[in-house]
Every structure is written in structure tokens, then in C-alpha cells.
Amino acid sequence: ELKVEQNPLFLSMQEGKNYTIYCNYSTTSDRLYWYRQDPGKSLESLFVLLSNGAVKQEGRLMASLDTKARLSTLHITAAVHDLSATYFCVVTSGSRLTFGEGTQLTVNP
């Protein structure tokens, strides 16, 4: 059974600071996604990571994938309040997705 673990689950940070969210998964997978969810809203796809060493960047967010270590990271650079949301790491098993619990990020002024 595929398991996906994120840490931390809760993250409170100040604007302008950097931080990394970690995602470990238990079995081999061929792709990994990061999604964002704002309170009371649906999920929005941020990144699709397809291969070992893949790195994707969008604005202040950068995601990477190490398939050998079964580890993905989501790095936040110079955080701003608009990044406050819950971030999910999602790993595929065939056509199914397995979600991590999510990291609830709060960026404080």
C-alpha cells in the first residue's frame, strides 16, 4: 500500500522567510504532484514532477523530486501572505492518486 507522509503538517512563518516542506512516499511511483488548496475551496494543481532530479519553479515556489530517496520537496522563497494555504503532495499508483495529509501554511506579516 502506497503511503505518503508530509512534514511539517502545520507551518507558521513570517513574510520574507524561506522554508521547505518535505514529502516522503513508501513505494516506487512514476510521477508526483503538488496541489494547493485555499480554505473552503477546491484543489489547484501546482506542479507535476515526472523523473528523478526533476525541478519545477513557479514564482516563490520550487518543487523537486528524488525518486531514489522517494522524497519530494516544496521550497518557499521569501514567503508572502498570499501563499497561505494547504499544500498537498500526491503520488500516483497506476491511475490512482494517494494524497499526503497536507501542510497547512500560514504566512504572517
Partner 1 sequence: DAGITQSPRHKVTETGTPVTLRCHQTENHRYMYWYRQDPGHGLRLIHYSYGVKDTDKGEVSDGYSVSRSKTEDFLLTLESATSSQTSVYFCAISVAGTYNEQFFGPGTRLTVL
Binding site for partner 1 (CB under 8 A): 4, 31, 33, 41-43, 45, 48, 50, 88, 92, 95-97, 99-102
Exposure class string for 29-38: b at 16+ Cβ within 10 A, else e? beebbbbbee
Minimum CB distance to partner 1 smaller for 42 or for 109: 42
Q: How far is the CB of 62 from partner 1 (least distance, A)?
A: 19
Q: How far is the CB of 14 from partner 1 (least distance, A)?
A: 26
Minimum CB distance to partner 1 smaller for 89 or for 107: 89
For the chain, give the number of residues.
Answer: 109
Q: How far is the CB of 78 from partner 1 (least distance, A)?
A: 27
Q: In what order do the strands lie in the sheet with 19-25?
A: 4-7, 19-25, 71-76, 61-66, 55-58
Residue type, 22: Y
